[in-house]
Amino acid sequence: EGTKEIEAKIIPLHKEGRPTTLDLDFYRAFQKILTDIIQREGKIPECISYKSHQLLRLAGKTDSEHYFEEHRKWLTRMKGTVIRIKYEDKKNEKTKWVEMEFSVFDRRISVGEKLDDGTFADRNYIFISPWYYKLFNEFELMPLDFNLHKSLKTPLAKVLLPILKKGFYASEDKDKKFSKR
């Protein structure tokens, strides 16, 4: 069949700054919240709610004003960040490049913001994008080893973990060798 080329590009919301390894800690903690919901209820709902201190604790951060503000910025970055996927679609000997753009969160309401009913949120509400919701509920995402992520001390190790793990996870080589461009 030949090699299938897939490109993925993450386009951040520049107003709130580029993603950091602190954002990765928050994202992994968010995935842990989702994983816990699936283990308890069998699937995640379209809207997830949680208290900020819950996510901060999972991310290994203190309940300081600094981290609450960083968490608020992370929610904004997650909502505004676009993931662009480009891949080869081979049909009838013809190759066509298909391009799609999406984000992880369709909508987010942070603590203190107004809810649809006019009251103010005492927690965060995340409306997950349909593609992410489907992948998570159908167990099509690579399993998260949250404890391994938390045990890593350097930002570089945290960034490299999913890249290396994905390669080993997806490798067809019996010796578990893989390469990336």
- Amino acid 2: pLDDT: 46
- Amino acid 52: pLDDT: 95
- Amino acid 166: pLDDT: 61
- Angle of helix 21-41 relative to helix 155-170, nearest 10 degrees, comes to 50
Tell me how crowded residue 140 is: count the other CB atoms within 10 A of its CB: 8
- Amino acid 180: pLDDT: 55
- Antiparallel, parallel or unpaired: β 105-109 and 82-91: unpaired
Q: How far apart are CA 91 and CA 96, in angstroms?
A: 8
Residue from 90, 89, 114 nearest 100 by CA:
89
pLDDT per residue rounded down to tens, the chain (181 residues): 444 566 666 666 666 667 788 888 998 899 899 888 988 988 889 899 999 999 999 999 998 999 999 999 999 888 887 777 777 777 767 777 777 777 888 899 999 999 999 999 999 999 988 887 787 777 655 556 777 777 878 777 777 766 676 655 555 555 555 555 5
For 53-73, b/e burial (b = at least 16 CB within 10 A) is eebbebbebeeeeebbebbbb
The pTM for the full model equals 0.71
Is 89 buried (19+), middle (13-18) or exposed (0-12) by CB count in 10 A?
Answer: exposed
